[in-house]
Amino acid sequence: MSLSCLRPRLPASLLAALLLTAPPMASAADAPPAPRLDVQARAELQVVPDQATLSARLWERTPAIAQRDDTRTDPEALAEARRRLEERAATLIRTLETAGLERETIQAGSLRVQPEVLHDRTGKEGEPTPLARTRLERPFEVEIKDLERLPTILDALTEAGVNALDGVTYDLADREAATDEALTQALVRARHKAELMAETLGIALGPVHAVSEQQAPVFQPRMMAMSADARESGGATEYRPGTLTIDAAVNVSWEIEGERSEE
């Protein structure tokens, strides 16, 4: 017979009673969390842009014809409109190059073909007669590295006969340096606020417990403005790019080590 068979066993009810009356073991999870000081801070950086992208469009249209269920664009009219558009696009590029721009700074977009419907009141008894035509459009983007040349480039676009000037988007050549500066200022602001609160409350700051971006740095460009004096005097137009606003926001949490010692 095995000796283990002779070993006495405790009743289950007695074992459960012993477990209930045993003192609980200390656990790190039961310890209260260390007191912390949480701070939110924001910084706003104003910077002057040093480059820009100018957007413009050229388009040509086929002749308007009466719209019918079986109407299709005349291939010859479509080809002629495209030929005129490509000639104007080539002229635009040459004009910009003559103004001093490098070819790689001039980006011609994809050709867009869009049907258009007009209502001409020349039908029977003055009723609107639907007319159909096709518009062929090519967008352009011009990168401007020297903002002093912006008026010259706008004059070149006007000379080339662009149909639409969609505006100027200002930017920075070194975005990373500007966003880093905004983030640094936000962190410095957070540290200043934490030290001010700690001094006022008479507590001592410990190490940083956690830090996170509340908001990644964001650009807020301002559109081109024209000088009112130049406009009223009829002189050369002056373009002011304004400034770019870069916002950054952070959350920082410090541990509190206790009361501040009196020196």
The answer to whether residues 193 and 180 belong to one domain is yes
Last residue of a domain, one of 171, 189, 211: 171
The answer to whether residues 72 and 96 belong to one domain is yes
The answer to whether residues 150 and 44 belong to one domain is no
Question: Is residue 12, in this structure, part of any structural domain at all?
Answer: no
Per-10-residue mean pLDDT of the chain, 263 residues long, equals 46 50 53 87 93 93 75 81 95 92 93 86 65 92 92 89 90 91 96 96 94 78 46 50 88 87 56
The answer to whether residues 147 and 192 belong to one domain is no
The count of structural domains within the chain is: 2
The CATH number of whichever domain residue 235 belongs to comes to 3.30.110.170
Question: Is residue 93, in this structure, part of any structural domain at all?
Answer: yes
Domain hosting residue 113, numbered range: 51-171
Q: What SS3 string covers the chain? A: CCHHHHCCCCCHHHHHHHHHHCCCCCCHHHCCCCCEEEEEEEEEEEECCCEEEEEEEEEEECCCEECCCCCCCCHHHHHHHHHHHHHHHHHHHHHHHHCCCCHHHEEECCCEEEEEEEEECCCHHHCCEEEEEEEEEEEEEEEECCHHHHHHHHHHHHHHCCCEEEEEEEECCCHHHHHHHHHHHHHHHHHHHHHHHHHHHCEEEEEEEEEEEEEEEEEECCCCEECHHHHHHCCCCCEECCCEEEEEEEEEEEEEEEECCCC
Question: Is residue 22, in this structure, part of any structural domain at all?
Answer: no
Last residue of a domain, one of 171, 204, 237: 171
Question: Is residue 60, in this structure, part of any structural domain at all?
Answer: yes
Question: Is residue 15, in this structure, part of any structural domain at all?
Answer: no
The answer to whether residues 186 and 217 belong to one domain is yes
Which residues lie closer than 8 Å to 215 by C-beta, 6 or more apart? 42, 247, 248, 249
How confident is the model at residue 207, as a pLDDT?
Answer: 94
Question: Is residue 106, in this structure, part of any structural domain at all?
Answer: yes
The answer to whether residues 128 and 185 belong to one domain is no
Query: What's the token pair of residue 56?
Result: 């413009």
The answer to whether residues 75 and 183 belong to one domain is no
Residue 165: closest CA among 226, 231, 256: 226
CA torsion sign, 102 to 105 to 106 to 111?
positive
The answer to whether residues 44 and 60 belong to one domain is no
The CATH number of whichever domain residue 141 belongs to comes to 3.30.70.2970
Question: Is residue 162, in this structure, part of any structural domain at all?
Answer: yes
The answer to whether residues 145 and 112 belong to one domain is yes
Last residue of a domain, one of 119, 137, 171: 171
The answer to whether residues 101 and 136 belong to one domain is yes
Residue 134: closest CA among 194, 190, 206, 85: 85
